[in-house]
A and B are shown apart, each in its own frame.
Chain A
Amino acid sequence: MGQRDILPLETSMKRKRGLHTASMCRLDLDPAVTVLKKEVEPGEEDALSSSRYMLGRGVKRKLSDCEDPVLGLPYPQQRQLVLDLCLDKLQSCQRRAEPSLHRSVLLANTLRQIQQEMRLEGGNCLPPAPPAPTLLHASTPRHIPELPPVSLDCPPHLSGSLSPSNSLATSEDGEAQLDCAESKPLYSSLSDEVDERPSDSLFGSFEITNSTSYLTDLALDDIFEDIDTSMYDSSDISVLAYPAPRGNGVASGIGDEGLKNFSSCTSNTLQLCLSDLSDLDHIMEILVRS
Chain B
Amino acid sequence: MQISPHFNKIVESLMVEGKFGVCNGITRVNDVKSGSSTLRKSPSGDRFKIYIPYAGQTITWEVILDNSCPEEPPDFIFEDSDFCPNVADIKSLVNWDIGDPHCLTKVIRELLEHYKTFHERLLEAHSRLQFEYSSLLDQTELSRDLIEVYSERTEKKIGPINFLIKLPVDFSDIPPYLTKDNPGENSAVLLILFPSPDSSRVTPQLYLSPRVEHAFGGSGNLRIPAFPSGGCLLDYVPDVYKLLQNKVEKTVQIYERRKELMAAFLSHFGRSVLEFDADGFFDISFLFEWNDFFFILYIELAPSFPQEAPVLTFQSIYHESKEKPYSEVHDKYPYSPRWSGPEMATRIKTYILDNIQAFQKQSVMSGSL
Q: Do A and B belong to a common assembly?
A: no
